[in-house]
Structure 1
Amino acid sequence: MMRIGMVAGEPSGDLLAARIIQGIQSQQQALIEGIGGPEMLARGFHSHYPMDALTVFGYVEALKQIPVLLRTYLGMKKYYLRQPPSVYVGIDAPDFNLRMEHQLRQAGVPTVQFVGPSIWAWRYERIHKIRAAVSHMLVLFPFETEIYEKEGVPVTYVGHPLAQNIAFKPDTNEARERLGMELPAGAQVLSLLPGSRSSEVKLLSPRFLQAVQILQREALDLHVLVPMVNASRRAEFEAILAQYPIKNLHILDAQTPGAIYVDEQGIVRPASWTALQAADAVLLASGTATLEAALFKKPMVISYVLSPAMERIMRWKSGQARPYLPWVGLPNVLARDFVVPELLQDDAQPEKLAQACWQALRDPAHIAKVKNTFLALHQSLHRDTPALAADVILKLARQHAI
């Protein structure tokens, strides 16, 4: 039986990898093993270490986790070198996977990296490490192919799996009805997504809530949805909410009826997706959630704040004061334009956030332009990602077997 090595390092990677496993299994019987999470395990993946060993948020936590990360890396490397797979697939987690891929490629194992580091924004010099470590890149965004082709790295654009899992025309009313909340006729809904990390919740939530306080002085019927990834983040958010109370606020988590559900394809839809689907507009932290909001065709305001210490660390680590591109949010990066506002660092003030949210909620011309742009973006990202990725992976594995 064909053996495929695979490592995913966080929940978003687990979801991506599960789709790739599904694509491989539709074409080839294979033992797929390495490090993965519950979505991968549900598809028959064999995990040698818990994915939590690699799920690290921020530089400080990474320093604390070094012993665990090192044991995990050395253990997997020893296993793969002793029993080389037909191909190795790294799913995101570039710090871990590029090291592993370099070692295995030197040992003659073909390597695939699915989701490359954002060299188009930070630290372009990492292309040299990628060229040495990776046999073939699988990229999520069409503009990335030009970068890798120019640098002599084999690359295939496979689209973004999320584009297959979110409808071109999401049903806002369906999400609201599923939640069963009492929303007055004509009420507008703003969803707040202050991030999944403790530092994000603590830095962004006070600003977001103060912005809503400003909005609710004029829009008394404005309702607010706030999805929380776990009990710890909810406790942190509620402590901040006590200092900046607002009306008509609904927290969505695993205990909220209808917030998390399994769709007809067997895909678990998180509370954040329900909050996005049910919203008229979104105020959120920069990150993957901005792409999800774009796929739900929602006008949004993107914000982010780094602590002074974290900002210094990022500048030191990258050697840059800011990204190469003028945009931070993925929707703007993909559109090559400021389709939606980005209020970062000192600009992330409640008054500015509230003003931008007013436009996202009440400006018909802006709303129509955003939705049309995001529909085109969705169409460009919609590919049969599992099949395209599986084709590349299995071709390399079969060539290696000859």
Structure 2
Amino acid sequence: MVAGEASGDLLASLLLQGMSQQGASVQAWGIGGEKMQQQAFQALWPSERLAVHGYSWEVFKRVAGLLRIRRTLGDQLLAVKPDVFVGVDAPDFNLGLEKRLRAGGVPTAHFVCPSIWAWRPERVETIRSAVDHVLCLFPFEPALLQNHGIAASFVGHPLANAIALHTDTQAARVALGLPLEAPVVALLPGSRSKEIDYLLPRFLLAAKALLAQHPTLQLILPSVAAQVPRVERLLQIHGMQAQVRLLAGQSHFALQACDTTLIASGTATLEAALFKKPMVISYAMHPISAMLMRRKQLQPWVGLPNILLREMAVPELLQDAATPEALAQSTHEWLQASLSRNAQWQALQEKLLGLHQSLQANTAEISAHAIQNLVAR
């Protein structure tokens, strides 16, 4: 098994847990994290070694090291011929390794369907040549893959089980020390440096406009530890240190406590949807990168809630459209809807509840069963 980052570690650990619960005697080894090791996984390298972001000389040196690891691991696997190889997410690392192993007679599975439905559709050819079976987090993905001759199973999304169908907003506010009756907006500009640089200044200017309309508004901003200095510097530059409450992590508490959220496109939008929160989705990047992404974009939506619901259920303000004025206006409209619990808010609640239920499944059991079937074949 090879799992990258914390999300892959969690998914792989659920698979190993499911195998154990079904009475299978499993020896599992490769690249993984703490949760996998708690399931008796032998990590030859930690999953953090697969995390590479950005473009720099240091990153290119890291990539060279990763290629050496992939080659070494591939040699070992082809020598011992395991019953199955499972690559968990990290497609840039895993698909090439899977292709080599499959050609060498090792059955391969890939856990998390690469988002060929959103961009980079050419990857479907790579998946077909590299993978015997794909374990999918979203219910529409197996049919899409099967149309291209790729076997796949829907195993549910772990977040849909980790987050309750109905959560207590008041309890989260008590836990965070927020006023129970005041309106609350959560700012989630992303966790990567470039996301924060491009989005947080816009979010803070929008927040200033919102404060003018809602003087009692509470603004909360969860941040990963590595980005706290960058976030604090931007808060100081915009004179918002006193107006924005910076949280150490606690993004789930922030989403549970808020009335609405101004949020960067990504997995966090799915988390917001599972907490049934109205949101304004935004993203911005270097203009050249944005142009290249638009050329590869396959759907009219970029936010996961809209993609899964197949409609523009919540607004998306991207690139040039992500002006502070537009962000403030859209967030104000959803905040008003949340506070009044109007028909628009109620309709969104019903849609998000249905989305949540559609993603629920026993991931550990279903994924383990799919792998056992692959091995048996």
Q: TM-score range by the shorter chain?
A: over 0.9
Amino acid in structure 2 at the alignment position of 1:299: P
Structure 1 residue 311, shift from structure 2 partner: 3.2
Q: How far apart are the structure 2 equivalents of 1:125 and 1:206?
A: 35
1:385 aligns with 2:375: no
SS of the equivalent of 1:124 reads coil
1:354 aligns with 2:337: no
1:45 equivalent among 41, 45, 48? 41
1:226 aligns with 2:200: no
8 A Cα contact 2:120 2:296, kept in partner: no
- Please list every run of 5 or more consecutive structure 2 residues that lacks an aligned counterpart in the other structure: none
2:169 equivalent among 172, 191, 200? 172
Q: How far apart are the structure 2 equivalents of 1:330 and 1:62?
A: 28
Q: Which residue of 2 aligns with 1:204?
A: 199
1:240 equivalent among 234, 238, 253? 234
Q: Which is further off, 68-77 or 337-346?
A: 68-77
Structure 1 residue 127, shift from structure 2 partner: 1.0
Q: How far apart are the structure 1 equivalents of 2:54 and 2:301?
A: 22
Q: How far apart are the structure 2 equivalents of 1:282 and 1:127?
A: 34
What does the per-residue CA deviation read over 1:317-342, in whole Å, with 9 as the maximum and x for residues that have no partner?
x7x62511000000000000000000
What does the per-residue CA deviation read over 1:342-398, in whole Å, with 9 as the maximum and x for residues that have no partner?
000001111100111112211223222221110000011111111110001122223
1:280 aligns with 2:276: no
Aligned 1:3-402 pairs, distance under 5 A:
6-27=1-22, 28-60=24-56, 62-179=59-176, 181-183=177-179, 185-230=180-225, 232-246=226-240, 247-253=242-248, 271-311=250-290, 315=292, 321-363=295-337, 364-399=342-377
8 A Cα contact 2:31 2:43, kept in partner: yes
Q: Which is further off, 51-60 or 135-144?
A: 51-60
What does the per-residue CA deviation read over 1:269-311, in whole Å, with 9 as the maximum and x for residues that have no partner?
x611111111111111100000011011110010000113533
SS of the equivalent of 2:297 reads coil
SS of the equivalent of 1:378 reads helix
Amino acid in structure 2 at the alignment position of 1:234: V
Q: How far apart are the structure 2 equivalents of 1:16 and 1:310?
A: 30
8 A Cα contact 1:190 1:225, kept in partner: yes
SS of the equivalent of 1:30 reads coil
When the two chains are superposed, the root-mean-square deviation of aligned CA atoms in Å is 1.6
Amino acid in structure 1 at the alignment position of 2:234: I
Q: How far apart are the structure 2 equivalents of 1:309 and 1:10?
A: 28
Amino acid in structure 2 at the alignment position of 1:213: K
Q: Which is further off, 53-62 or 361-370?
A: 53-62
SS of the equivalent of 1:57 reads coil
Amino acid in structure 1 at the alignment position of 2:330: A
8 A Cα contact 1:209 1:245, kept in partner: no
Q: How far apart are the structure 2 equivalents of 1:41 and 1:176?
A: 35
Q: Which is further off, 107-116 or 344-353?
A: 107-116
- The ranges of structure 1 where at least 4 consecutive aligned residues each deviate by more than 4 angstroms after the TM superposition are 59-62
SS of the equivalent of 1:89 reads strand
TM-score by length of 1: 0.88
8 A Cα contact 2:78 2:106, kept in partner: no
Q: How far apart are the structure 2 equivalents of 1:209 and 1:63?
A: 34
- Please list every run of 5 or more consecutive structure 1 residues that lacks an aligned counterpart in the other structure: 1-5, 254-269
Amino acid in structure 2 at the alignment position of 1:284: I
TM-score by length of 2: 0.94
8 A Cα contact 2:199 2:283, kept in partner: yes
Amino acid in structure 2 at the alignment position of 1:186: E
Structure 1 residue 167, shift from structure 2 partner: 0.2
Q: Which residue of 2 aligns with 1:3?
A: none
Among the aligned pairs, what percent are the same residue?
A: 46
8 A Cα contact 2:113 2:141, kept in partner: no
8 A Cα contact 1:286 1:302, kept in partner: yes
Q: How far apart are the structure 1 equivalents of 2:365 and 2:329?
A: 44
* Number of equivalenced pairs: 370
Structure 1 residue 248, shift from structure 2 partner: 3.8
What does the per-residue CA deviation read over 1:154-213, in whole Å, with 9 as the maximum and x for residues that have no partner?
11111111111110001111212222x142x42011111111111111111100011000
Q: How far apart are the structure 2 equivalents of 1:238 and 1:156?
A: 44
Amino acid in structure 1 at the alignment position of 2:237: Q
